[in-house]
Amino acid sequence: MTGPDEPAALHATDLGFRYRARGDRALRDCGFTVPRGRITALVGRNGAGKSTLLHLAGGLLNPTHGRIRVLGSAPGTAAARTRVALLTQDRPLYPRFTVADTLRMGGKLNPSWDRSVAERVVREGDIAPTARVGELSPGRRTRVALALALGKRPDLLLLDEPLADLDPVVRAEIMATLMAEAAEREVSIVMSSHVLPDLEQTCDWVLLLRAGRVELSEDADALREGHTLLTGHVDEEPALREHTVVRRRTHGRQLTALVRPRGPVGGDWHVERPGLEEILLGHLQEGAAAENGEAA
């Protein structure tokens, strides 16, 4: 088990990044802490800064201002490189290599290489060691890339939309592999994904970005307990003024509101406890409405 004095998986202070070629700011004034031993959902709309954040954490980019630490170390340093693995969207692999060649390369590049783990991940996908990487299906290429990442025996695994183009069956198989690794070795995982249903049962921490800023960094169970879904007559809306309304919608005279209550909610409401997917959608939709100049 990780102790209370161990450094966080990710910690950022006033973190910002600007792409100089384009001139736009991908991240600004980000401060957050992701505890160790968590499976974290990194959520946000396209352009929110998710990939930029993961590339900063993986040492592929350097902050424009502020700082970020991974397991207490600066990304890209020797201390971080041996303990952190990053799997990006493009799954960088050599297409002419066989699967066996790819795993041998992993062993040569990583001093903590665990051949048995890498081979098990490949074997569970029914992938022939003699198959060329470039001839594999997207799902099997993802599994080979994941074998490289897990064979490194990282303490922190960063995943940038690795499952986006996979069918539900393959996605479920790879998620099961990740869950088993997290449970057996207490690997901290930060996973960017647009597939919100996948996150409901797997992630226990949420990091939500909106327009380059951190809007949420919270325990998933605390998020569920801290939100309420209310349905009632529009005349009851004044009762919500003392609370944080994340998202409200009206259908005729019926009002539905996702709320973070600051105490008892007065009025005649039908009350439900929303799931994580509904909470995340509410925050993302509220963000989209604000960016478009609509009322939340």
Q: Which residue has the tokens 């995982």?
A: 189
pLDDT at position 169, please? Answer: 84
- pLDDT value of position 5: 60
Residue listed under structure tokens 């005279």: 253
Residue 139's closest CA among 210, 91, 187? 91
Tokens, residue 161: 């939309």
Query: With a cut of 70, which residues of the chain have pLDDT below it?
Result: 1-5, 21-23, 165, 287-296
Task: Give me the pLDDT at residue 149, please.
Answer: 93
Alpha carbons 187 and 219: distance in angstroms, whole number:
17
The rounded distance, in Å, linking the Cα atoms of 277 and 280 is 5
CA distances from 89 to 33, 54, 63 (A): 24, 11, 21
The pLDDT of residue 193 is: 83
What does pTM read for this prediction? 0.88
How far apart CA 135 and CA 268 sit, in angstroms, is: 60
Show the domains of the chain with their CATH numbers. Answer: 10-219 (3.40.50.300), 223-291 (no CATH)
- Which pLDDT value is given to residue 224? 94
Instruction: Note the pLDDT of residue 21.
Output: 67
pLDDT of residue 33: 97
Long-range contacts of 233-238 (CB under 8 A, 24+ apart): 233/268, 236/267, 236/268, 236/269
| Digit-coded pLDDT (tens) for 35-92 | 999 999 999 998 899 999 999 999 999 999 999 999 999 999 999 999 999 998 777 8
pLDDT at 23: 62
